[in-house]
Amino acid sequence: MEDSSLLCLLFLISLLSCTTNQARLTVSPSSSQFFEGDFVSLSCEEADSSAGWTLRRNTSKQQRTQCGVRWGEAADSSCSISYVFTLDSGVYWCESREGAISNMVNLTVSGGSVILQSPVLPVMEGDAVTLLCERKTTPSNLPAAFYKDGVFIRKQPTGHMTIQHVSRSDEGLYKCNISGHGESPSSWITVTGDTLTCRPTTTSPLPPDSSSLYFVIKLLFYLVMFCVCFISTLLMVSLYQHRPTGNDLRASIPPTQPDQGLDEEFDDIITDVTTEHHF
């Protein structure tokens, strides 16, 4: 029972403290899209430097590759890419030696002439968000049309569009188009009301468009594990409380009455001896 209870206790402590051991991945310049040839720096803002956080990524060609191995230049808990290529597009995250992971960011490197500068990290509900449709060559502030989930929103004369007081309904895929110059790739904008998030620690990261379902599944997994631990602990406690004690065992054993048996045998012997004497 003690081993089972200890395992459950450690599991619950790990759930409660999961946010204290996390790193936060930041990108500079703060954007989800880049032109081919741009400089990009990624950094793990870590609460525990002893965890040994490193940068990893998934791309169309490579999976879970570490910064400094075939891509990027690693320095402590940061990574810089001096010249990004379209093949550098993918999902990036920080990972500790124990397998804990940070938030994930999806970076897109475009070989075209137009990109959409949008928040690379989740946006808090109620904040204002500005999207910039940028052209690779000057002038960059040309009139641009903005789209969400493939639906036209509006056209802005300076290429800037600001969304005031964002809400969950503003989540989606955004892109822009500059007439005569081209269209940007699409980027997902996430809106959240949580300041702290708890990420799973052992599974491989998924792209942002499926992250919501991913974390719902992980949450259900944690709930199921909690219920299993809780029920098993109750069962063990119940069995422990109802196990037979030493007094119960002694009380359950029927008396053998050894003295009574000896007395009967002794009486028989005396009778036999008396009978022989009279004879």
Answer yes or no: is 244 within a domain.
no
| CB proximity list for 227: less than 8 A, separation 6 or greater | none
Say whether both 107 and 32 belong to one domain.
Answer: yes
pLDDT tens digit sequence for 66-116: 999 999 999 989 999 999 999 999 999 999 988 899 999 999 999 999 999
Say whether both 77 and 89 belong to one domain.
Answer: yes
Q: What range defines the domain where residue 86 resides?
A: 23-111
Answer yes or no: is 251 within a domain.
no
Domain finish residue from 76, 95, 111: 111
Say whether both 129 and 87 belong to one domain.
Answer: no
More confident position, 132 or 212:
132
pLDDT at 10 over 60: no
Say whether both 119 and 103 belong to one domain.
Answer: no
Say whether both 31 and 106 belong to one domain.
Answer: yes
Q: What span, in angstroms and rounded, lies between the C-alpha atoms of 262 and 161? A: 107
Select, from the ranges 120-129, 217-226, 267-276, the one with the highest average predicted confidence (pLDDT): 120-129
Domain finish residue from 194, 210, 229: 194
Answer yes or no: is 213 within a domain.
no
Average pLDDT in the chain: 78
Residue 206's CB is within 10 A of a number of other CB atoms, namely: 15
- Split at pLDDT 50, 70, 90, the class of 245 is low
User: Which CATH number covers residue 31?
Assistant: 2.60.40.10
Say whether both 81 and 50 belong to one domain.
Answer: yes
Q: What span, in angstroms and rounded, lies between the C-alpha atoms of 28 and 78? A: 11
Question: Which pLDDT value is given to residue 265?
Answer: 52
Q: Residue 55: how many CA atoms within 13 Å on its side-chain side?
A: 27
What average pLDDT does this structure show over 190-196?
75
Burial class (CB in 10 A: 0-12, 13-18, 19+), 43: buried
Q: What span, in angstroms and rounded, lies between the C-alpha atoms of 108 and 33? A: 5
pTM of the model: 0.64
Domain finish residue from 95, 111, 127: 111
- The backbone torsions φ and ψ at residue 242, rounded to the nearest 5 degrees and listed phi first, read -100, 10
Answer yes or no: is 80 within a domain.
yes
Domain count, the chain: 2
Q: Which of 14-28, 114-128, 258-272 is least confident?
A: 258-272
Answer yes or no: is 278 within a domain.
no
pLDDT at 170 over 60: yes
- Split at pLDDT 50, 70, 90, the class of 48 is low
Say whether both 120 and 104 belong to one domain.
Answer: no
The count of residues in the chain is 279
Say whether both 163 and 128 belong to one domain.
Answer: yes
Q: What span, in angstroms and rounded, lies between the C-alpha atoms of 41 and 25? A: 10
- Split at pLDDT 50, 70, 90, the class of 243 is low
Q: What span, in angstroms and rounded, lies between the C-alpha atoms of 215 and 198? A: 9
pLDDT at 12 over 50: no
